[in-house]
Amino acid sequence: MIVSAATAVIDGRTCRPGWVRTSGRHILECGSGEAPGPPDVHFPDCVVVPGFIDMHVHGGGGESFTDGRSSGVAEFHLRHGTTTMLASLVTAAPDELLSAVADLAEATRSGMVAGIHLEGPWLSPARCGAHDHTLMRSPHPAEIDAVLAAADGTIRMVTLAPELAGSAEAIRRFRDADVVVAVGHTNANYEQTRGAIALGATVGTHLFNAMPPLDHRDPGPVLALLTDPRVTVELIADGVHVDPEMVRAVLQWLGPDRVALVTDAIAAAGYGDGAYRLGAVPIDVESGVARVRGTPTIAGSTATMDEMFRLVAELSTLADAVQTTSATPARALGLDRMGRLQAGYDANLVVLDRDLQVHKVMHNGIWHPSAASGTTAKP
C-alpha cells in the first residue's frame, strides 16, 4: 500500500509532499516528493507522522490497567494516535502487585501493550503523589525476584526512589534483567541521583513532578537528570503538570532527543469529570484536572498524546513534536523498529489534519478508527 500526503515526517525530516509504502506489518520504503506509483490512499492537506509511543499511561476511556482492562485502555489511546504503550501500575500490596503483573504479562504477550511499567511500590512516601503511601516500601531482593518471575520478561521499565535502602542492589538487579530503570517519586538529593545514574538509571519519571524542586543551593534530582546526557526525561506536557514555557525551556536546553512526552493518563482521560480511583486512592476530576480527593495533589492526567503533540508543535517544530512523541521514547525503551517512518520499521503511523487533529491511525499495517470517528462518553 502506498500512502501519500501533503506532508510527512520521514526519519526526522519534514517532507512536503511525502509518501510511505507498507506491506503487511512493515514499512517497505518512504520518501519525499511524489509517490513512486499511484497512491492507494492520498491525504491532501494532512500530515503523516509515526505512531505515538506512550511510556507512562495508567488508563483511559473510563478503564484502567490496574483493573485488568487492558484492551479498553489500548483501544481508547489508539484512537488518539498512540500505537505503542507501556501499561503503568501504581503502588500496591505485594499480592495485588503480583496478580496485576501476571495479568499484564498476558496483555504484553498478546501484543496489546509493549510491556509493563512499575511505578511503585519502591517510592518515597515523602513524594507519594497519588500513590498510597502506606503501601510504599524499600526494594527487597525477594520481592524483586518474585515480580520478575511473574512478569516472565514483560517488565520494560521500573520507577524507583534511589535514596531508599536497597535501591542500589535493585537497580543492578533490574538492569541485569534488561529492565529500564527510572528515577521518580523521590526525595533524593543531587548526589544520590547521580549515583543511581552511574548504576544504570536512564530515565527521569515525569520530570519536576513528585520530586524536590530545582534550588540553586540544593539542586536535587532535577539538575542531576537534566545534565546527564545518558538520561531521557519524561514531561507531562498537558498544561497542568508543567507550564508550557518550562516545556519549551527543557526542549531548548536538552534537545528533543532527550525528551519523551508522556500522558500519565488515568481512566478519566476521554471520559469526563467525576469520581475515579487510581489503585487504592480516590480521585476527583474537575474541569479536566485530576486530584487526590480532598487535596490539591495532582493525580495523573486526562490528556492524550495527540494533545501534547499539538502543544510541542506550537512551542517548537513539527519535527520536534514527532521526536518527543515517537523516536525518543522508542530509543529510551529499546523498542527496535518503532518510532520512525523508515524502511524496515513497523507500519505504525498517524494521519493528522491541518489542525493536527487525528484523522486516521494505522497500527501494524491496519487502519483503525480515530478519535474523530467517535468518542468515549460517560453513560
Binding residues for substrate: 130, 209-210, 217, 241, 298-300
Detail the residues annotated as belonging to a binding site: 119, 130, 185, 206, 209-210, 217, 241, 298-300
User: Catalytic: 103?
Assistant: no
**Residue 331 bridge partners (DSSP):** none
**Strand 13-15 relative to strand 281-286: parallel, antiparallel, unpaired?**
unpaired
DSSP string, 205-241: TTTTTTSPPP-SS--HHHHHHHH-TT-EEEE--SSSS
Q: What is the amino acid identity at position 176?
A: D
Q: Is the peptide bond before 50 cis (omega within 30 degrees of 0)?
A: no
For residue 364, what are the contacts with CB-CB under 8 A and spacing of at least 6?
A: 25, 83, 346, 347, 348
Detail the residues annotated as belonging to a binding site for Zn(2+): 119, 185, 206
Q: H-helix or E-strand containing 94?
A: helix 94-109
Closest of 318, 340, 327, 353 to residue 5, by C-alpha: 353
The C-alpha cell that represents 333 in the structure block: 525503551
Q: Order of strands, edge to edge, in the sheet holding 274-278? A: 274-278, 281-286, 289-292
Q: Hey, how many other C-beta atoms are within 10 angstroms of the C-beta on 244?
A: 14
DSSP string, 341-378: --TTSB--EEEE-TT--EEEEEETTEEE--GGG-----
Q: What is the DSSP letter of 160?
A: E
Instruction: Quote the CA–CA distance of 122 and 125 in Å, as a whole number.
Output: 9
Phi-psi region of 279 (alpha: psi -120 to 50; beta: other; left: phi over 0): left
Q: Which of 54, 238, 264, 320 is catalytic?
A: 264
Sign, Cα dihedral of 330, 332, 335, 340: positive
Give the N- to C-terminal CA distance of the chain in Å, as an integer: 39
Catalytic residue positions, numbered: 264
